[in-house]
Amino acid sequence: MAIATVNPATGATEREFEPHSGEEVERRIARAQDAFKALKDTTFAERAQWLRRAAEILEGEVDETARMLVVEMGKPIGQAEAEVRKSAKGLRFYADHAESFLADEPLDDPAAVGASRAWTRYEPLGVVLAVMPWNFPVWQALRFAAPALAAGNTGLLKHASNVPQTALYLDGLFERAGFPPGAFQALLIGSREVKAVIEDARVKAVTLTGSEPAGSSVAATAGAAIKKSVLELGGSDPFIVLPSADLDAAVETAVRARTINNGQSCIAGKRFIVHTDVYDEFSRRFTEATAALVVGDPLDPKTEVGPLATEAGRDELAELVDDAVAKGARVLTGGGALDRPGWFYAPTVLADLSDDAAIVQEETFGPVAALYRAEDAADAARIANQTRFGLSSAVWTNDADEQEWFIRNLDAGAVFVNGMTVSFPELPFGGVKASGYGRELAAAGIREFTNLKTVWKG
């Protein structure tokens, strides 16, 4: 895949970039290693100060940065601005909390292990490679970078090939904020060059956010080299609605959950599983609200749904819908690409899916919702758990016993009760099953790329 900015709203190639040569990659890894030697002797307070400065820079440049995101991957401008602001919040979160998350933990009873004192200490690992996707190109990269740098690691970012301008912007951000040169750098390389970077002895660990094939390839390389990996992969999250739910709020939130970021979010509600008693009502109102969404130029503040990020992504989505329809699904609204330049796809609702439709198992990365009718709570959980994914989930019910039952019975990295899944710096984020392993954000996220060193003193 060429490293280029192709505007999804027009299909026009705006800028192409020469990939980094082997020598340039080598130079960047060497700089990252040198920066680690410098960074590991800095204090939490110094790193926190630089993270806060990076947050200020981001906020000061929100307008230009948001426009760049829109031109590179097509999200509506208001959502691009919100992404940049949220990223600044993530930087400040780790500036405020890294030291307490990584504080030494003494053993209460050292005599039990024959010691005068014993404790654990978190130490940085070194250079960490981050392979990142285009869908939240600033937030995804910074939710890796903030804890990694706060812990004293250095980062190499292999960003998705369609967001090179964002990659280069982030490449400069941390040095501008005061971090040692080389603490965070972008590698403009294709996915084929990733293996050699993981295998490089100076690179200690890798994190990937993206698709299953990419995740399994990166994890295989890391496994062969015995290096730590974290995988944040796809999702096909259930959004379950039961009779006691506030239906107004559920419908309104369901539409937002499915179409935020033009439907290209790993934690989007993708499968809407509705109890039969409220199915018809939910289906009617959800379809009406989906059909009323404003689709258009993502730079226009009135636009609610813009184009898909790539032509290939739009074609894959169209294939899943066409396959479902060929196997008997009903299209309640939408159902096809829009006849205009760029990679637009109409917000779509499908019902009556047959079990052999690929969409039942696959992730839909675009504004396509699948409706399922459930006979009861147990049937809803069965449908929710029937895919190989297990990223997050949402359940709408005002019955306390039912809430507790779903919290226990949904196979997912998170359960949101009467809300939609959102990532917060304060909460751990990650999946089970084919959605990956390891956690980002919160205390769990910063500890992933550390050496938990045990210290015993006689």
Q: What is the distance between the alpha carbons of residues 121 and 49, in angstroms, rounded to a whole number?
A: 22
Chain positions 310 to 339 lying near ligand NAP, rule: CB under 6 A, are: none
For 302, counting Cβ atoms within 10 Å of its Cβ (0-12 exposed, 13-18 middle, 19+ buried), the class is exposed
For 59, counting Cβ atoms within 10 Å of its Cβ (0-12 exposed, 13-18 middle, 19+ buried), the class is middle
Chain positions 375 to 434 lying near ligand NAP, rule: CB under 6 A, are: 391, 431
- Work out whether 133 is an interface residue with ligand NAP (CB under 6 A): yes
Which is nearer to ligand NAP, 52 or 433 (by Cβ)? 433
Give me Rg for the CA atoms of the chain: 23
Q: What is the distance between the alpha carbons of residues 86 and 424, in angstroms, rounded to a whole number?
A: 9
- Work out whether 214 is an interface residue with ligand NAP (CB under 6 A): yes
Out of 10, 42, 49, 217, which residue is the one contacting ligand NAP (CB under 6 A)?
A: 217
Out of 31, 97, 158, 271, which residue is the one contacting ligand NAP (CB under 6 A)?
A: 158
The H helix count followed by the E strand count for the chain is 14, 20
Which is nearer to ligand NAP, 166 or 333 (by Cβ)? 166
**Is-catalytic flag, 266?**
yes
- Work out whether 186 is an interface residue with ligand NAP (CB under 6 A): no
Q: What is the distance between the alpha carbons of residues 210 and 132, in angstroms, rounded to a whole number?
A: 7
- Work out whether 19 is an interface residue with ligand NAP (CB under 6 A): no
Compute CA 259 distance to the chain's CA centroid, rounded to the nearest angstrom: 15
Size of the site for ligand NAP (CB under 6 A): 31
Instruction: Choose the binding region for ligand NAP from 71-79, 104-112, 210-218, 248-256 (rule: CB under 6 A).
Output: 210-218
> Which residue in the list 72, 81, 83, 232 is annotated as catalytic?
232
Which is nearer to ligand NAP, 65 or 261 (by Cβ)? 261
Contacts of 130 (CB under 8 A, 6+ apart): 141, 144, 145, 148, 155, 156, 157, 158, 206, 207, 208
Instruction: Choose among 91, 25, 65, 53: nearest CA to 179.
Output: 53
Write the CA distances from 91 to 48, 149, 167, 407, integer angstroms.
9, 10, 17, 30
The two three-digit tokens of residue 421, written as one number: 């899944």
The Cβ-side half-sphere exposure at 203, using a 13 Å CA radius, reads 25
Instruction: Choose the binding region for ligand NAP from 83-91, 131-139, 291-299, 348-356 (rule: CB under 6 A).
Output: 131-139
Out of 54, 98, 233, 381, which residue is the one contacting ligand NAP (CB under 6 A)?
A: 233
Residue 195 C-beta: closest distance to ligand NAP, Å: 7
- Work out whether 365 is an interface residue with ligand NAP (CB under 6 A): yes
Residue 111 C-beta: closest distance to ligand NAP, Å: 44
Instruction: Choose the binding region for ligand NAP from 189-197, 251-259, 294-302, 403-411 (rule: CB under 6 A).
Output: 189-197
Contacts of 355 (CB under 8 A, 6+ apart): none
> Which residue in the list 72, 81, 83, 266 is annotated as catalytic?
266
Out of 54, 84, 177, 266, which residue is the one contacting ligand NAP (CB under 6 A)?
A: 266
- Work out whether 187 is an interface residue with ligand NAP (CB under 6 A): no
- Work out whether 8 is an interface residue with ligand NAP (CB under 6 A): no
Residue written as tokens 């250079």?
127
Q: What is the distance between the alpha carbons of residues 49 and 43, in angstroms, rounded to a whole number?
A: 10
Question: Known catalytic residues?
Answer: 232, 266
Summarize as ranges the residues that interact with ligand NAP (CB under 6 A): 1, 131-135, 140, 158-161, 190-191, 194, 209-211, 213-214, 217-218, 232-235, 266, 363, 365, 391, 431, 436
